[in-house]
Chain A
Amino acid sequence: AQSVTQLGSHVSVSEGALVLLRCNYSSSVPPYLFWYVQYPNQGLQLLLKYTTGATLVKGINGFEAEFKKSETSFHLTKPSAHMSDAAEYFCAVIELTGGGNKLTFGTGTQLKVEL
């Protein structure tokens, strides 16, 4: 079975500082990886995804992530944090099933952005 580990349940950065949220995955097959963001009392919004091709993927709101097979990692970064980035971030891996697919999520990282 596939799984995702997010290191650090809470991360705090200053506005303008680098954001780094860590994600490691376990998969017996080439993974399809995702980062979602969740604002309070809302559903999940896709930030970016890796399926095949270029290992550095760019997403919305200035976020990007790099797939590193040798490290089984898919860390999320943003060069300069903004107050509006404060939210919970989830890394997820797809598990293909019955013609469809289901997401397996990590436990999430709460990002706090301070002035």
Chain B
Amino acid sequence: DTGVSQDPRHKITKRGQNVTFRCDPISEHNRLYWYRQTLGQGPEFLTYFQNEAQLEKSRLLSDRFSAERPKGSFSTLEIQRTEQGDSAMYLCASNLQGFEQYFGPGTRLTVT
């Protein structure tokens, strides 16, 4: 069990560019969550997958955001036409059952 991993750890991009982040959950975990954390705030829920099905999306997830989990294992979060307001830490978490979620180290996005 190597824990939840996220790639890249840091991403700097220019406004208007597209970016994609990857999350690899703990193996066998069927539930996967994405959160966004801005400076000085707690993480905010973005979206949730059970296996490959995306079961819930927050209103924070605008049309520029899309998340996938094609084979029910790793997930990707894509942001199109990035804006400065997208600068944040993007956290991924996973679990199998129960309430405890296991978090990855996060991807820090800076939009210049």
Q: Give A contacts to B, CB under 8 Å.
A: 4, 9, 32, 34, 36, 41-46, 49, 51, 90, 92, 94, 97-108
Q: Is the CB of A102 within 8 A of B103?
A: no
Which of A32, A41, A105 is within 8 Å of B42, CB to CB? A105
Question: Do residues B43 and A90 form an inter-chain contact, with CB atoms below 8 A?
Answer: yes
Residues in B with CB closer than 8 Å to A99 are 50, 55
**Chain B interface size, under 10 / 10 to 19 / 20 to 34 / 35 or more:** 20 to 34
Asked whether any CB of chain A lies closer than 8 Å to the CB of B91, the reply is yes
Could you give 6 example pairs across A and B, Cβ below 8 Å?
A: A34-B100, A41-B106, A43-B6, A43-B91, A100-B48, A105-B44
Q: Is B42 a contact partner of A92 (Cβ separation < 8 A)?
A: yes
Q: Establish whether residues A43 and B48, one from each chain, have CB atoms under 8 Å apart when the complex forms.
A: no
State the majority secondary structure of interface residues on B. strand
Instruction: Report chain B residues within 8 Å CB of A34.
Output: 99-100
Known: A43-B106, A94-B99. A108 touches B55 (CB 8 A): no
The SS class assigned to the A binding surface is: strand
Nearest-neighbour CB distance to chain B for A85, whole angstroms, equals 19
Are B106 and A32 in contact, CB atoms less than 8 angstroms apart? no
Contacting residue for A100 out of B42, B56, B104, B105, CB 8 A: B56
- Chain B residue at minimal CB-CB distance from A43: B103
* B40, B41, B42, B105: most-surrounded residue (chain A CB, <10 A): B42
Chain B residues near A51: list those with CB within 8 A.
99
Chain A residue numbers with a CB within 8 Å of B55 are 97-100
**Other-chain contact of A42, B31, B100, B105 (Cβ < 8 Å):** B105
Given known pairs A32-B99, A103-B101, the reply for A98 and B42 (CB within 8 Å) is no
B65 interface residue (CB < 8 Å to A): no
